[in-house]
Every structure is written in structure tokens, then in C-alpha cells.
Amino acid sequence: MIAFPSLTTTAPVVDFFHDVVCGWCFVLAPRLQQVSAELGIQVRHRSFVLQDSREQMIEVFGSMPRAKAIILRHWADCAAHDDSARIDIDGMRAQDFEYPSGWLGALACQTAGMLGGNDAHGAMFDAVQWSHLHQHRNIGDAEVLLDIAEHLGHRRGVFADRMRSDEVRQRVQADRAEAAALGIRSIPTVITGNGLRLQTLPLPQLRQALAPLVVA
């Protein structure tokens, strides 16, 4: 059994299942951060990898060029709903690397969580998403992820060793297994303590949906 770090809080907890390559997660994350801070809710970060390898990308999309073309069309939809102009579609389109799966990014997020707890997991997730969707860097390259981790204050060698460990892979798979058991099929998905399931909502609707979790 995987022992996840406990949350040292009596605040209501919501589980945020996300993938580092997911544009809709990028749109939702800052809204969720804002509302959770306003209401005193703890967000627990969980990994949900849509495709975990190049082979799965090809199986789903037909080819790697087609994967990138289709996903960038999804990016356009996400950009139209983002609260600020953060998603650089043209920048990613101009890059010559294949569109990455979210597997290595999930390993990096879980590594940060092992080393620094849930908040460190969230910080890594945000930084990897920023690097991917705004800076159009190749987050399928482990060295890019280690650069991000080092920028966040992690010791590069320690982080690299932990990221390669079986325990980190098991943590990613445990989150995926829990998502499957919960019947989660798409992301982002936020699950609340009262069983409510939310996806990408505008800020006012998200606030309205989460407010009942807080006891006056």
C-alpha cells in the first residue's frame, strides 16, 4: 500500500485530478487556487495521465504529427476560456519536438510531493504547466523537468534519483488506479467531500459550487 503524505489541516479537502499537458487544467488551476484560498479549502493534488507513452499517443491520435495538430486545436478552445492570454499556441506549433505525454511530468510532480508535501506537488504542477503551455518547452525531456525542479529549490541530483524510483512510479499509478475506481474519465476533475464532481468552471460558478463545503 502506498502511504501518501497526510494533509495537516482541518479545512475541507478537495481532490484535484490533473495532467501536466492538459490545457483545461491550466485554465482551472488558478481559479481553484483563488477560490480555495478565499474559502479556506485544501486542494489535494492527484496525478491523472491521459497517455503515458509515445505508443499510446499514436494509438489515440494515429501519428505524432496528428497528435500535435489535434491537441493544439484543443489549446485554442482552452485559450478562448482562459482568464488571461497565457497559452502560446503559435509558440508550441513552431517547436520541432513531438508533443509530449504527461508521464514524465507526473513523475516530477509526485517526486516534488514526496520531497516537500502536497504544496510542493502543486507548485511543481503549476510550474510544469507554465513551462509547457506558456513557454512551449519540451516537458517530455527529463532535463527540462529537472531545470524546473531546481528553479523551485529542489536539489537536482536528489530530485533526479527520486524521480527514477519505483516508489514515484507507484504513486502515479496509485492515483491513476484511484481515478479509475472513482470512474473519472476526463480531466480536470475536482472531487469534493460531499461527492460533487467539478470540471472547468468560470470563477463565480466555481466559488458558488465550493462554498457549501465551508461550515460557517
pLDDT of residue 9: 55
Q: What integer pLDDT is reported at residue 84 of this predicted model?
A: 93
Please say whether the dihedral angle defined by the alpha carbons of residues 97, 99, 118 and 127, taken in this order, is positive or negative.
positive
What pLDDT, on the 0 to 100 scale, is given for residue 127? Answer: 98
What is the per-residue pLDDT across 183-193, written as a single tens digit (0 to 9) for each?
Answer: 999 999 999 98
For residue 142, give every residue at least 6 positions away whose Cβ sits within 8 Å of its Cβ, in sequence order, or none. Answer: 104, 160, 163
Q: Give pTM, 2 decimals.
A: 0.93
Spell out, as residue ranges, where the chain has pLDDT lower than 70.
1-9, 216
Question: Residue 185: what residue type?
Answer: R
